[in-house]
Amino acid sequence: MTDPLARIAAALDRLAPPPPAHADPLAHPAYVWRQGALVAARDFSPLPLAMLHGIEQQKAALRANLERLAAGHAAQDVLLWGARGTGKSAVVKSTIAAVQAAGGALALVEAPGDGLDGLSALFDAIAPVKRAFALFIDDLGFDAAADARQLRSMLQGGAEARPKNVRLIVTSNRRHLVPRDIAEQESAINPRDAIDDHLALADRFGLSLGFHVVDQDGYVDIVRTYAEAYGLPFDAQEAIGWATRRGSRSGRVAWQYLVDLAGRAGKAIE
């Protein structure tokens, strides 16, 4: 006769199975932190770094920082902030790929912004690995300063801050990650305290890179770079009209135009 306790234990295991085994942290260029496990990314093939135009200073600063991290030298946590579609996420992935291609011992780990509670387990998994990791949290934002305090502790000051071989790379549409509440500042006994609380998270990033909307010539230059790379002719006025209808000029809109252009030409692009 089966032990009742064994049956109960088996039932609990079925309801809450253990997390899957971690992928080899030395074997892949990129990973996703998913359900408490380090999962190899299915396809890590970002655009070549040279194809990202109009952000030369940001590319140079980010690459220099990530090269230091890959070499085991002192490196900063990075905040990339600014207008939507301006290449923040793309430059992170492309720069990591460029560092890897140059022989850097660096891997990307992408983690969801709503899963900060589970990052201590991720840190436990990768801290002893003889490799550097760029922990990428995309499109992060908080509704209130109090929500950001856990991340602040990870960056600096917490008992379980991120390991020496890990640096955070965060993108956000907000420069300070937390919206400023003017009413809160005005009602505070000491308004400076309220301001400091809102700025405390952004201040913990040693490298802060701003991304801004490009002008029309810059947008057309981005389209031209993409089109030449894929052997596609394009009309500048048509490309401008595409951006006008979407109400935005950015690298993302330029790429969307290229996808449409390739589709009409009967070509596939990655």
The residue among 201 and 185 whose pLDDT is bigger is 201
The single-letter DSSP state of residue 43 is -
pLDDT of residue 195: 45
Question: CA 201, CA 194: separation in Å to the nearest integer?
Answer: 13
In which order are the strands placed within the sheet that holds 166-172? 37-40, 30-34, 106-110, 132-137, 166-172, 78-82, 207-211
Q: At what angle do helices 216-229 and 236-246 cross, to 10 degrees?
A: 120
**DSSP character string of 182-197:** HHHHHHSSSHHHHHHH
Decide: 240 and 219 in contact? Cβ < 8 Å.
yes
Q: Which long-range contacts (CB under 8 A, 24 or more apart) does 17-22 make?
A: 22/125
Q: Which amino acid is at 83?
A: A
pTM: 0.79
Q: Is 167 helix (H, G, I), strand (E, B) or coil?
A: strand
pLDDT value of residue 105: 95
Q: What b/e string do you get for 28-58 counting C-beta neighbours within 10 Å, with b at 16 or more?
A: ebbbbbeeebbbebeebebbebebbbbbeeb
pLDDT band at residue 209 under the 50/70/90 scheme:
very high
User: In the predicted model, is pLDDT for residue 268 greater than 90?
Assistant: no
Cα–Cα distance for residue pair 258/205, rounded to 1 Å? 34
Can you give the pLDDT at residue 118? 79
Contact 108, 137 (CB under 8 A): no
Give the span between the Cα atoms of 86 and 91, in whole angstroms.
9
* 193 Cβ neighbours under 8 A, 6+ residues apart: none
pLDDT digits (tens, 9 = 90+) for 245-262: 988 888 899 999 999 999
The mean pLDDT of 62-85, rounded to a whole number, is 94
User: Mean pLDDT, the chain, as a whole number?
Assistant: 83
pLDDT bin (cut points 50, 70, 90) of residue 192 is very low
- Going by their DSSP bridges, the two strands 132-137 and 166-172 should be labelled as parallel
Burial class (CB in 10 A: 0-12, 13-18, 19+), 264: exposed
124-145 mean pLDDT: 85
Q: What confidence tier does 190 reach under pLDDT thresholds 50, 70, 90? A: very low
Confidence tier at 203 by pLDDT (50, 70, 90): confident
